[in-house]
């Protein structure tokens, strides 16, 4: 829907929808957007339109296809002026008859004034059957069911003549009718991308007549529309057609963004319709003659998490892999300012209502993750599964509640198929200094139909980007938005209209206050600056009731998807069989949904097929051969047991790893023993130092035993005659005279002589303890017995000194 020249509108959307996506293509047919915003040099607020009242505009706009007149719409808001709307503008000739499955051509001019007052027809597509709500809720969540009930009324008018600026691209628009793209042929493939390119050319050539600026065109994509916009950013034929890009909840690197084998799709369609698919024969001529009903009845195999139909790669023959093209930072990629954004839960459409409401057990979680990994990856599936399960399991809790398991599983799928690919693109775009902005929409409308616990879900940011809360949802999708919702919507709309004008969401109008919302919402966004995303800081804007700048969105989990898994997702050596990479669990009961056939040949290194099943992973190293890699089918012995074969292949491929592990463990043990010996030596030396220090503290190097104890032990071993104890010194008044000491000594000698004579008479020697002599008067010590005069002199001197 192109809104190019309303007096109050500064940004004009062109909506293109496509039926591809990470779940069921038909279920996503009304979700994918490819939005074009042509900046107008008019005044106003740049807000979305609703249509309470309708009247024709007075002016007639002259386009290259003819004259056109739109309608004026009054908006249900006192803050918004009427807008001028143009509906159903044909930008290409109807793709019917001989133009079916051909590149679009310019529209057929008209002579009279064309009234652009009604929407064009919707391209033919199958949408889910929601007549039985019970059966429908087994396939989708409640919020999705409620959304489809509102949208189906707009899908009834279907026709092949559907290339209008309110553009719905059918699934068959992606059909590749030749085995390989032919740059000179009118058919080939990726017709949806060529349709959007034709619409962009029309905008560039005619937007000036509506008051717009053809040098400031912003293209925005949501979900699968984001994948298309991302591919257009790399396609050489879209160069110069747009100048700003917004990618919301999708990218070309998501595993659901493109089909991996378009030729297989071509073969299956040809077989069901009856068109020959042998050799290089183009089946487009055959398909042009098939009735529309027969084309709509084609049943394609459904594989969960990957599209049944979608764009085939490469979109550029010179750059066969979009991931490599962005990694090399081509000029076309880095010169365009880029906004990328995600919601909190990007995987809400991958579960049914019962799973979301009640949760599920761990076994079901394993089946879901195993299904996603098998359909999105090729190499080392068991290792990737273990890494994902380990990262998204709360090991601190011994028992996990089904609701907790549901939350972690939804987070794992969100990160795997949407968030991590977008983060990779943000890194590629920012590392060369390009203008890159990242946002996390963390606001949830209260009547959204989804559990508040899940936070914002996929697609919930789109109404706020278009400003629908400001007009109560508009005439087509009325809804009760709160004042808080309106305040958030006005701030978001200001950021995006600034980006469309200048490539910077902060200029030219800073958010000083908002007209909507409560007083809190009017001030929370005041002065808020949306900082640029850089590879170092990785800053991003959290859009919520309390907006703020943060850094490293889900940093640790992104490291698993962007660093660890790419290292695991490698084919290994040339002698490794593809059976080595398969899951050990092969029964259908190990999976939660349809899975693709196992790969028995390595993916080509270059060419029309990507080097990995998921572009979120690293591509295998090229050997320099620019041709398709030769198919190598391993020769398997059917009689050999699968487990033994895998064990043999694993042991052969990883013998070096086992040896290195053994060496590492051995070296570790040796270092442990060496550390223990060093510790024992240090402890022993320290103990010796303590003993030596204790001995050094004693006088004259005495040993540790007390003197009395050592004397008693020595006397017990070598008994000696008893001696009188040493004299006892007390306080004495004066020393005795020498004459008195001599008399005392003579008396003692006489007594001893008499005692000796008595013992000799009896013939027996009796040892008695000598009776200590009585101390002399007024003295403090007794004199020891001595046989010499020198001893007496010494004692006298000692006594004199004590005095």
Percent of the chain scored above 70 by pLDDT?
A: 66
How do residues 690-718 score in pLDDT, each as one tens digit? Answer: 888 887 766 554 544 444 444 444 444 45
The CATH number of 327-581, from 3.40.50.1820, 3.40.50.150, 3.50.50.60, 3.40.50.9100, is 3.40.50.1820
Tokens 């940093």 correspond to: 555
HEC states along 414-474? HHHHHHHHHHHHHHHHHCCCCCEEEEEECCCCCCCCCCHHHCCECCCCHHHHHCHHHHCCC
pLDDT of residue 795: 53
Residue boundaries of the structural domains of the chain? 56-211+272-311, 327-581
pLDDT of residue 79: 77
Phi then psi for residue 542, to 5 deg, are -90, 115
Read off the pLDDT of each residue in 469-483 and give the average, rounded to a whole number. 83
Percent of the chain scored above 90 by pLDDT?
A: 35
| SS3 state of residue 517 | coil
pLDDT of residue 82: 83
Beta strands 212-222; 33-40: pairing state: antiparallel
56-211+272-311 and 327-581, same CATH topology? yes
Read off the pLDDT of each residue in 42-49 and give the average, rounded to a whole number. 36
Residue 232: count of CB within 10 angstroms of its CB: 23
How do residues 268-320 score in pLDDT, each as one tens digit? Answer: 888 888 887 776 667 888 888 899 999 888 888 888 998 888 776 655 555 55
Starting at the edge strand found earlier in the chain, the sheet holding 548-551 runs 33-40, 212-222, 244-248, 338-343, 436-441, 539-543, 548-551
* Token reading at 599: 């790969």
Model's pTM, two decimal places?
A: 0.69
How do residues 203-217 score in pLDDT, each as one tens digit? Answer: 999 989 988 899 999
Please check whether residue 619 is in contact with residue 542, taking contact to mean a CB–CB distance below 8 angstroms: no
Which of 54, 43, 35 has its CA nearest to residue 5? 43
For 56-211+272-311, which CATH superfamily applies? Alpha/Beta hydrolase fold, catalytic domain (3.40.50.1820)
pLDDT of residue 316: 58
What is the rounded average pLDDT for all residues in the chain? 75
Beta strands 61-62; 83-85: pairing state: unpaired
Residue 447: count of CB within 10 angstroms of its CB: 12
* Token reading at 110: 């008209």
How do residues 259-270 score in pLDDT, each as one tens digit? Answer: 877 778 888 888
How do residues 407-460 score in pLDDT, each as one tens digit? Answer: 999 999 999 999 999 999 999 999 988 999 999 999 998 777 788 899 999 999
């Amino acid at each position: 829907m192109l809104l190019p020249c309303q007096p109050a509108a500064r940004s004009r959307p062109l909506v293109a929808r496509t039926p591809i996506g990470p779940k069921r293509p038909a279920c996503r047919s009304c979700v994918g957007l490819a939005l074009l915003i042509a900046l107008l040099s008019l005044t106003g607020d740049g807000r979305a339109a609703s249509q309470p009242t309708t009247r024709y505009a007075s002016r007639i706009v002259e386009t290259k296809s003819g004259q056109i007149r739109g309608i004026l719409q009054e908006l249900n808001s006192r803050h918004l002026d009427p807008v001028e709307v143009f509906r159903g503008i044909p930008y290409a000739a109807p793709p019917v008859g001989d133009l079916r499955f051909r590149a679009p051509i310019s529209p057929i001019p008209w002579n009279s004034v064309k009234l652009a007052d009604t929407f064009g027809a919707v391209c033919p597509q199958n949408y889910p059957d929601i007549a039985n709500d019970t059966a429908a809720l087994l396939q989708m969540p409640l919020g999705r069911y409620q959304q489809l009930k509102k949208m189906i009324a707009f899908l009834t008018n279907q026709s092949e003549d559907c290339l209008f600026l309110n553009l719905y691209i059918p699934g068959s628009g992606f059909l590749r009718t030749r085995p390989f793209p032919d740059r000179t042929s009118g058919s080939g493939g990726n017709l949806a991308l060529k349709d959007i390119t034709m619409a962009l050319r029309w905008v560039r050539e005619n937007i000036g007549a509506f008051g717009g600026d053809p040098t400031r065109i912003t293209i925005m994509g949501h979900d699968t529309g984001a994948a298309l916009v991302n591919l257009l950013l790399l396609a050489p034929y879209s160069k110069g057609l747009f100048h700003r890009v917004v990618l919301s909840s999708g990218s070309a690197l998501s595993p659901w963004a493109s089909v991996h084998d378009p030729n297989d799709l071509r073969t299956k369609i040809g077989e069901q319709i009856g068109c020959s698919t042998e050799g290089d024969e183009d089946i487009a001529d055959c398909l042009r003659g098939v009735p529309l009903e027969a084309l709509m009845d084609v049943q394609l195999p459904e594989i969960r998490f990957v599209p049944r139909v979608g764009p085939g790669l490469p979109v550029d023959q010179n750059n066969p892999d979009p991931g490599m093209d962005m990694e090399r930072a081509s000029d076309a990629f880095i010169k365009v300012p880029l906004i990328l954004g995600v919601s909190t839960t990007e995987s809400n459409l991958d579960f049914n209502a019962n799973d979301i409401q009640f949760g599920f057990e761990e076994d079901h979680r394993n089946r879901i993750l195993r299904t996603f990994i098998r359909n999105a990856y090729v190499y080392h599936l068991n290792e990737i599964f273990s890494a994902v399960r380990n990262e998204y399991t709360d090991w601190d809790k011994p028992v996990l509640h089904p609701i907790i398991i549901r939350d972690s599983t939804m987070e794992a799928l969100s990160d795997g198929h949407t968030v991590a690919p977008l983060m990779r693109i943000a890194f590629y775009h920012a590392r060369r200094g390009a203008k890159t902005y990242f946002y996390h929409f963390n606001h949830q409308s209260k009547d959204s139909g989804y559990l508040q616990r899940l936070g914002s879900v996929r697609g919930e940011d789109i109404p706020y980007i278009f400003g629908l809360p400001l007009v109560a949802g508009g005439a087509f999708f009325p809804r009760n938005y709160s004042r808080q919702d309106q305040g958030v919507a006005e701030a978001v709309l200001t950021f995006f209209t600034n980006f469309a004008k200048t490539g910077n969401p902060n200029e030219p109008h800073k958010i000083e206050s908002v007209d909507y919302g409560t007083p809190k919402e009017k001030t929370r966004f005041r002065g808020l600056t949306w900082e640029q995303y850089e590879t170092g800081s990785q800053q991003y804007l959290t859009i919520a009731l309390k907006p703020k700048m943060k850094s490293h969105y889900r940093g640790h989990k992104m490291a698993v998807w962007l660093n660890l898994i790419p290292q695991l997702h490698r084919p290994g050596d040339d002698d490794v069989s593809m059976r080595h990479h398969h899951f050990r669990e092969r029964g259908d009961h190990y999976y939660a949904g349809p899975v693709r056939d196992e790969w028995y040949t390595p993916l080509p290194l270059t060419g029309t097929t990507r080097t990995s099943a998921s572009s979120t992973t690293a591509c295998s190293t090229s050997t320099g051969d620019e041709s398709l890699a030769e198919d190598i089918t391993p020769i398997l012995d059917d009689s050999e047991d699968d487990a033994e074969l895998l064990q043999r292949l694993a042991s052969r491929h990883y013998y070096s790893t086992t040896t290195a592990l053994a060496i590492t463990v051995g070296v570790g043990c040796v270092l442990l023993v060496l550390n223990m010996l060093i510790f024992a030596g240090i402890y022993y030396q320290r103990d010796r130092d303590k003993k030596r220090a204790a001995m050094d503290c004693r006088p004259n190097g005495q040993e540790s035993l007390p003197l009395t104890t050592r004397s008693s032990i020595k006397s017990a071993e070598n008994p000696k005659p008893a001696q009188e104890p040493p004299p006892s010194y007390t306080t004495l008044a004066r020393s005795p005279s020498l004459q008195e000491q001599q008399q005392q000594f003579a008396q003692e000698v006489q007594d001893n002589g008499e005692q000796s004579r008595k013992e000799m008479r009896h013939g027996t020697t009796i040892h008695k303890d000598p009776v200590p002599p009585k101390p002399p008067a007024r003295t403090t010590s007794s004199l020891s017995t001595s046989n010499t005069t020198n001893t007496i002199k010494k004692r006298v001197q000692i006594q004199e000194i004590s005095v």
